[in-house]
Amino acid sequence: MEKLKIGITHGYTNGVSYEVILKTFEEPTMLEFCTPIVYGSPKLAIYHRKTLDLSTNFTTIQHASEAIEGKLNIKECFTDEVKVELNSETSEAENAMQTSLKNALTDYEEGHFDVLVSAPGDKLQHNGLTILINQMMRIASVTETLPLTKATLNLTIELVLEKLRQFNKCLERDFLYTQPRIAIMSLNPIAGKEEEEIIKPAIGQANEERICAFGPYTAEQLFGSNAFTHYDGILAMYHDQALTPFNLLTNDFAVVYFANKERVHTTTLHGAELQNAGKGTTPCTSFTNAIYTAIDIYRNRQRFDEAYANPLPKLFHDKREDNRKNNIE
């Protein structure tokens, strides 16, 4: 099987980003799964390696095309030295983070690697669907990170339906679920105007498009009796409604996936963790699983696209399928 090239941003350099990168690839077996290309600075890597007393080896490259299989490759993105101030928020670390991300996205668009994984601390403007993934659930929110007051005002039938279509397609193509079952959460603990006038009509329209959407359910109905385990995906109405139960039912496995039909991009659930920088106490499990998840999604897309490239002809014409395709496109 072809070994994938993994583009990795170096995240927020005053935090634990280099720690989780170096710990992950200190284990030689990781290099059997992929060829990593870190968009950062060899000097920063040396600084953190020495601070943390790690033994991870790496090679410096100037372009992604120079990446060596079986090595941790660090692409030099800086001509000037980047100052490290552990445990601190600085404009220099912010600029270094943005430079790494910009370089990686440019190379991704040009096809120099297969999937993108962000180290902790990246700040990404994302127009798709953000999905939180652990071993028990995949959960997304309709209004993403909008404040609750704005989330309520922005909630419409069209928006809920759009997110449902995106989520359904993602579960089919990226996770290979056939007719995925999606649980929809209510906005209010007791059904009110939003449930009757927005969420229920959106679910009804989705069902007409042959999307298996169910609900709306309150948090108590969904998580109080483990009913959430019967669904392939959960769609919350706002960010904290998704994040709270996810955090309560998660462990170090947790991964964030920025669902986008053109790119595969994952990151850790935890952020830069400035308070733990330089201590060597941060586990690399979430980062490692972000890599595994990205690889799995890339492979799943290959299988899905190959299977549907030349489908067997139907013996009848289903007009509902035409409507569904038009709505997805």
CA 191 to chain centroid, in Å, comes to 31
Query: What was the pLDDT predicted at 146?
Result: 86
Mean pLDDT of 286-309: 95
Read off the pTM.
0.91
The Cα 283–Cα 20 span in angstroms is 7
- Residue 193: enclosing H or E segment and its boundaries? helix 193-194
For range 299-303, the mean pLDDT: 95
Exposure on the CB side of residue 129, measured as CA atoms within 13 A:
30
Given this model, what pLDDT does residue 281 score? 94
Q: Is 212 exposed, middle or buried (0-12, 13-18, 19+ CB in 10 A)?
A: middle
Average the pLDDT over 139-166 and give the result: 92
As a whole number of angstroms, the distance between CA 326 and CA 329 comes to 5
Write the pLDDT tens digit of every residue in 187-237.
998 888 999 999 999 999 999 999 999 999 999 999 998 899 999 999 999
Model confidence at 250: pLDDT above 90 = no
How does pLDDT run across 264-287, given as a tens digit for each residue?
999 999 999 999 999 999 999 999
Question: Which residue has better confidence, 314 or 9?
Answer: 9
Distant-in-sequence, close-in-space partners of 180: CB < 8 Å, separation ≥ 6: 168, 171, 172, 212, 232, 233
Q: Which strand (E) or helix (H) includes residue 244?
A: helix 239-248
- The pLDDT tens digits for 100-122 are 999 999 999 999 999 999 999 98
- Asked if residue 167 lies in contact with residue 235, where contact means CB atoms within 8 angstroms, the answer is yes
Tokens of 299: 């492979």
Supply the mean pLDDT for the chain.
92
- 4-126+254-309 — its CATH code? 3.40.718.10
Give domain limits for the chain. 4-126+254-309, 136-248
Note the pLDDT tens digit of each residue in 239-248: 999 999 999 9
Compute the average pLDDT of residues 16-26: 97
